[in-house]
Every structure is written in C-alpha cells, then in structure tokens.
Structure 1
Amino acid sequence: MAKADGTYSTSDLSRKSGDIIAEAMRHPVIITQRNKPRLVLLNIEDYRRLRGSADRRAAGTIDTMPENLLSEFEDAVEAYAESDEASRP
C-alpha cells in the first residue's frame, strides 16, 4: 500500500506496476523491501538532470597533478609548516 510520500513495497510493485510507473513519471517513487528503502523510480528527465549535475572529480596522485597546482600545494604546505613552527614556544 502506498504511503503519502510515494513509497511502495516490492509486493506493491509486483501487483500495481502500471500505477506505480505512472506515479514515477510525475515524481520519484521509493520502493522498499522489508520496510527499508531499496530503490527509487524516476522519470528519465530527472535521471538525466541528476547525472548531469553529478560531481565528476577524479582522484589522482602528486605524480599526475598539474605543475601549477603542485606548486600551489607545495607553497601552501610550506606556509602552514612555517606558521606552525612560529606558533610553538
């Protein structure tokens, strides 16, 4: 049975998939299994918007860091070390 917030169980999905899909076209629908949220159904436009706004940062190493960024990083570490040493008695 649907809750007011558009949440359905996996059993509901099996029995009323057409109604649930129609609702998911209007707004995201949560599917629960054993009373725990497991899935979200949403329309393709919302999905694409979310994918487009996803954080695309990637991890790297100092070896792969651009030279100008490495220089800024080294300067910041050096400035921090100097300020830390100056603050010690």
Structure 2
Amino acid sequence: MTNKTGSYTTSDLSRRSGDIIAEALRHPVTITQRNKPRLVLLNIEDYERLMRQSDMRYAGTIENLSDELFAEFEGAVDAYADSDESNR
C-alpha cells in the first residue's frame, strides 16, 4: 500500500520500513514526527546530485581573510566609496 503524499510517520517507518524504502528508491519520502517533517529518505543518485549542486562556499569574518584577499576587499570598498562620492 503506497502513501500518495510520500510522507510517513516514524511509527509507519517502524512498521513498514520495506515498503517505505522501496518508495524512497523511486522518489524522496518525508518522515514526520509529532506532525512535523523531520527526515527525508532519498535514493543515492538523488543525494549525490544534490551534493554536487550544493554551494560549497562558507561564511567567514574579516579576521579570517588572507592578507591578499583582505587587500582586494579593501580596494573594492575604496573604489565603491570613491564612485559613490563622485555621484553626489
């Protein structure tokens, strides 16, 4: 028996893991707990595609910038400030 919404509870997962895993091989399945989405089961190909498409950038602080990157950032800020002043 297939759930048309692709969403199951954690209790469903305990009782029907084989059916739910079979469905997750076809399309992502959401697992809910206390009526809130908590997990997504998906096949390895979809997972690997998502990982390849993910943005690998990270957030940092000025203190973490290399001297070269800081100088480039500082130059860009100065150029912006100069262009902003000349447009006034």
TM range, smaller chain: 0.7 to 0.9
Change (3 A) 1:17 1:36: same
SS at match of 2:37: strand
Which range is displaced more, 2-11 or 29-38? 2-11
User: Deviations for 1:30-85, whole angstroms, at most 9, x for unmatched residues?
Assistant: 00000000000001111111111111123455564473x55543332112212333
Q: Which residue of 2 aligns with 1:40?
A: 40
Change (3 A) 1:78 1:66: same
TM-score, structure 2 as length reference: 0.76
State the one-letter code of the partner of 2:84.
Answer: D
Identical aligned pairs, as a percentage?
Answer: 69
State the one-letter code of the partner of 1:80.
Answer: Y
Whole-angstrom distance in 1 between the partners of 2:70 and 2:85: 23
User: Deviations for 1:4-47, whole angstroms, at most 9, x for unmatched residues?
Assistant: 32000001101111100000000000000000000000011111
State the one-letter code of the partner of 2:7.
Answer: T
State the one-letter code of the partner of 1:16.
Answer: R
Q: Which residue of 2 aligns with 1:9?
A: 9
Q: Which residue of 2 aligns with 1:53?
A: 53
Task: Show structure 1 runs of 5+ residues with no match.
Answer: none
Two-structure CA RMSD over aligned residues (Å): 2.4
SS at match of 2:5: coil
TM-score, structure 1 as length reference: 0.75
Task: Show structure 2 runs of 5+ residues with no match.
Answer: none
